Amino acid sequence: DSKNLLVAPNGSPLNERQREYVANVICGRDVVLIGAAGTGKTTAVQASMKALLALGLVGTIPKAALKHIYAENAPSMIACAFTNRAARNIATKLPAGMEQNAMTHHKLCEYVPVDKNSAEAKRFVPSRNPKNPLPDLDVVFYEEASMMDYTLYKIQEAAYSPARRPTEVTLGDMYQLPPIFGPSLLAMKLLDTPVIELTEVYRQAMDSPIIRLAHAIKDGVAISPLKRGDYTKPGE
């Protein structure tokens, strides 16, 4: 039943824009999903992964085909992020057994030192490239894409299997920090990829003082000393 695929992990229905996003992903369309904190991006991504698996729309990665995936028959979709912290956070949200499918760009492209026995050991290069491409991947989710340098994305794109270009799902928040160098992947994807923006902030999200503070800053709300208690938890 397709309706059962359009629900959040807690069983509640997705909103209209979340459903639109899931429909694009299962149809194999590249898409950008943006939204401020608390608008349900993670929920939508979880629903899209669940739908891809349930409908049999992703294959498997052969064992040992990727250095950092050890499981047999891991689904051929990767959640990629720029930082280890982001990758670890994503891993906790993936379907059971897919924790290894969340990794940094550098792990996916298997960076290695240029020369272990010289000063060049401090410089790393991707061992995955057009001459040594990645195995076939069906879907790649670029998490926290505002933080990823577009140059790194192009390195990864060049390493994809020539036999199969994955569907690319770019996720992010335009109010987050940009990368240290160069334009962000999110900024570049916004120029040439269909965009779905989530705008409904869920009540449960606003129970978090961190998210309330983030939205106050985003909206330019002045926070007086008397109001600071609104953004803390009792006892903290």
Contact 126, 111 (CB under 8 A): yes
Q: Is the pLDDT of residue 10 over 70?
A: yes
| pLDDT tens, position by position, 55-102 | 999 999 998 899 999 888 899 999 999 999 999 999 999 988 899 999
- In this prediction, what percent of the chain has a pLDDT beyond 90? 61
Instruction: Give the model's pLDDT for residue 215.
Output: 58
Instruction: Give the model's pLDDT for residue 64.
Output: 87
Say whether 208 sits in a helix, a strand or coil. coil
Instruction: Give the model's pLDDT for residue 164.
Output: 87
Q: Is the pLDDT of residue 116 over 90?
A: no
Give the CA count within 13 Å in the CB-facing half-sphere of 58. 25
Of 152 and 233, more confident: 152
**Of 18-32, 158-172, 214-228, minimum mean pLDDT range:** 214-228
Instruction: Name the band, by pLDDT with cuts 50, 70 and 90, for residue 234.
Output: low
Instruction: Give the model's pLDDT for residue 206.
Output: 53
Predicted TM-score (pTM) of the model is: 0.84
Instruction: Name the band, by pLDDT with cuts 50, 70 and 90, for residue 228.
Output: low
Say whether 20 sits in a helix, a strand or coil. helix
Mean pLDDT rounded to a whole number for the chain: 86
Q: Between vectors from CA 73 to CA 67 and to CA 77, what angle results, nearest 5°?
A: 70
Instruction: Give the model's pLDDT for residue 182.
Output: 87
| pLDDT tens, position by position, 158-216 | 999 999 899 999 999 887 778 888 899 999 999 999 999 998 876 555 556 655 666 56
- How far, in Å, CA of 144 to CA of 211, rounded? 16
Pairing outcome for strands 31-35 and 195-198 = parallel
Instruction: Give the model's pLDDT for residue 207.
Output: 56
Joined tokens for residue 55:
């409908």
| pLDDT tens, position by position, 124-167 | 999 999 999 999 999 999 999 999 999 999 999 999 999 989 99
Q: Is the pLDDT of residue 24 over 70?
A: yes
Q: Is the pLDDT of residue 2 over 60?
A: no
In the chain, the N- to C-terminal Cα span, in Å, equals 46
Joined tokens for residue 191:
């120029």
Joined tokens for residue 157:
């794109």
